[in-house]
Homo-oligomer: A and B are copies of this chain.
Amino acid sequence: MTDLEARLFDEISRIRAIDCHSHVPPESPHAQTLGDLLGYHYYTELAHAAGMPADAVDPPKSDLQRVAELVARLDTIDNTVQYSWLMEAARELFAFRAERLTPSNWPELARVVAEAAKADDRYLAVLAKANLDKVFLTNRFDEDLSAIDRSVFVPCLRTDDLVFQLGDADVRHRLAVKTGIEVGSTDDFRDALRWLMRYFVQGGAASAAISLPPDFSPQPPDAGAARQALAKAVRGKALADAESRALAVFAFDAIADTCRQFQKPFQLMIGCIRNVYPAGVAGGRDLVSKRGSLVEYADLFRRYPQVDFTVSVLSTTWAHELATFAWIFPNVKPSGHWWYANIPAHIEYDLRARLEAVPKVKLIGYYSDMYKVEFGLPKFNMYRRVLARVLAREFVETGRLGERQAVELAGLLLRDNPKRIFGV
């Protein structure tokens, strides 16, 4: 790190960031045990990919057994950036001083984690240390939002079930229980969506979100086909693939339309294939495909010019399309670096391209996607370092921006843009 990069990193670290996508459980936001940290799917899946049997971390195992197993495996994955998150969290949040986490020293860290967890508001201290102002959650559509600590957390309506499993009686039942609306028709579904969005907005929600497979194509819905498919599902019949698809395309469109009505952004996370490796550990079974194209979404972006679509793509081969779509469509906002694209090699290349060609007011720099607040610090710091490097090498050293301007640009990415776009 050059002096310039270090100065920029230091300034960037002072920006109170908005984390617009996470899976933090509001009822238990911080780690209770070391197992809560090592249980992050990155560690279990990487350890498994490196040779650990998947059942070594299965539920019947105790927290201690799992921790011991994972710690014993860390030396197979200590090159990964994910491992570096763990060590940075241990060092910065738990004052862990050893260079490595080993079978002999992990009980010490476990003790500190458990001790720290006793403070009910521990998560506030963790987020303050990470300099995160707000953290978005990802809430099931029938989740109770009343107990959420809205001083730091922002709910978000996750809509995957509503789009891809609306044909399931169970999902419609949950919807009825929550909203009081029995969905027997597509109009009922629109009513239920409105009910949900109103409930979520009243609960502080700032957006809807969905994860989409790479071959999804959000065309204009065929209302008749969707009506018939839903009616068939309501009659308890299994849907053919084409019927399920028609229903999903309709439901997706209805959610976009609800976002329009409530003037809320729709977070699109595009490119994940679920359960590619069913024998894997929990959370480590999904993968990415390079297939598909953002061109499939052009019609959606045209249909809903009033809706901000904050878009993340899972395959790095989609990164160029995303930047160019944001360069042309006012309502497309590139958002963060997601999951399999969330490593410095890809962040650096994709971030540079976005900064060179997309209006700065449209870029949402980063989100953590974390399950426990402890990972906010190392994940955001990873991003801050890459951002400092790109700003230093491509903007300040080339004379295109002064240092102060570079820090202001970082402020847009980390704070001002998500604040404005999501209205938080």
Interface residues of A (CB under 8 A from B): 1, 45-51, 76-82, 84, 273, 276-280, 284-285, 287-291, 293-295, 298, 301-302, 305, 315-318, 320-321, 324-330, 340-341, 343-346, 349, 352-353, 355-362, 385, 394-395, 397-398, 400-401, 409
Q: Give every chain B residue within 8 A of A400 (Cβ-Cβ).
A: 84
Contact check, B290 vs A321: say whether CB atoms are below 8 A apart: yes
Q: Give every chain B residue within 8 A of A349 (Cβ-Cβ).
A: 345, 349
Identify which of B45, B326, B353 contacts A328 (C-beta below 8 A): B45
- The answer for the CA separation of A81 and B345 in the assembled complex, in Å, is 22
- The answer for the CA separation of A197 and B17 in the assembled complex, in Å, is 59
Q: How far is the CB of A48 from chain B (nearest CB, A)?
A: 6
Q: Give every chain B residue within 8 A of A325 (Cβ-Cβ).
A: 287
- The answer for the CA separation of A349 and B46 in the assembled complex, in Å, is 21
Identify which of B45, B305, B317, B327 contacts A327 (C-beta below 8 A): B45
Q: Give every chain B residue within 8 A of A302 (Cβ-Cβ).
A: 277-279
Q: Give every chain B residue within 8 A of A84 (Cβ-Cβ).
A: 400
Q: A285-B328, A290-B317, A328-B276 are in contact. Are A361 and B295 (CB under 8 A)?
A: no
Contact check, A340 vs B327: say whether CB atoms are below 8 A apart: yes
Q: Give every chain B residue within 8 A of A329 (Cβ-Cβ).
A: 49, 277, 280
Q: A46-B327, A49-B328, A362-B49 are in contact. Are A345 and B356 (CB under 8 A)?
A: yes
Contact check, A353 vs B346: say whether CB atoms are below 8 A apart: yes
Q: Give the copy number.
A: 3
Chain B minimum-CB-distance residue to A2:
B397
17 pairs, CB–CB < 8 Å, chain A vs chain B: A46-B359, A50-B362, A76-B361, A77-B359, A81-B357, A84-B400, A277-B301, A278-B302, A288-B321, A289-B294, A291-B293, A317-B317, A320-B340, A343-B356, A345-B349, A346-B353, A385-B398
Contact check, A324 vs B295: say whether CB atoms are below 8 A apart: no
Q: How far is the CB of A353 from chain B (nearest CB, A)?
A: 4
Contact check, B358 vs A80: say whether CB atoms are below 8 A apart: yes
- The answer for the CA separation of A353 and B344 in the assembled complex, in Å, is 8
Interface of A is mostly: helix
Contact check, B49 vs A360: say whether CB atoms are below 8 A apart: no
- The answer for the CA separation of A298 and B279 in the assembled complex, in Å, is 12
Q: Give every chain B residue within 8 A of A301 (Cβ-Cβ).
A: 277
Most B C-beta atoms less than 10 A away, residue of A47, A280, A328, A398: A328
Q: Give every chain B residue within 8 A of A298 (Cβ-Cβ).
A: 276-277, 287
Contact check, A353 vs B359: say whether CB atoms are below 8 A apart: no
Contact check, A82 vs B357: say whether CB atoms are below 8 A apart: yes
Contact check, B398 vs A49: say whether CB atoms are below 8 A apart: no
Contact check, B360 vs A78: say whether CB atoms are below 8 A apart: yes
- The answer for the CA separation of A294 and B328 in the assembled complex, in Å, is 25
Identify which of B276, B279, B321, B327 contacts A295 (C-beta below 8 A): B276
Contact check, B320 vs A360: say whether CB atoms are below 8 A apart: no
Contact check, A287 vs B324: say whether CB atoms are below 8 A apart: yes
Q: Give every chain B residue within 8 A of A344 (Cβ-Cβ).
A: 352, 356, 394
Identify which of B48, B51, B276, B357 contacts A361 (C-beta below 8 A): B51
- The answer for the CA separation of A179 and B6 in the assembled complex, in Å, is 66
Q: Give every chain B residue within 8 A of A77 (Cβ-Cβ).
A: 359-360
Most B C-beta atoms less than 10 A away, residue of A76, A288, A302: A288
Closest 6 CB pairs of A and B: A50-B359, A345-B353, A79-B360, A345-B352, A343-B356, A316-B320
Q: Give every chain B residue within 8 A of A82 (Cβ-Cβ).
A: 357
Given contacts A316-B320, A345-B356, 9 further A-B contacts (CB under 8 A): A45-B328, A48-B330, A49-B362, A80-B360, A84-B400, A289-B293, A290-B317, A291-B295, A345-B352
Q: Give every chain B residue within 8 A of A346 (Cβ-Cβ).
A: 320, 353
- The answer for the CA separation of A345 and B324 in the assembled complex, in Å, is 13
Q: How far is the CB of A17 from chain B (nearest CB, A)?
A: 19
Q: Give every chain B residue within 8 A of A288 (Cβ-Cβ).
A: 320-321, 324
Chain B minimum-CB-distance residue to A399:
B1
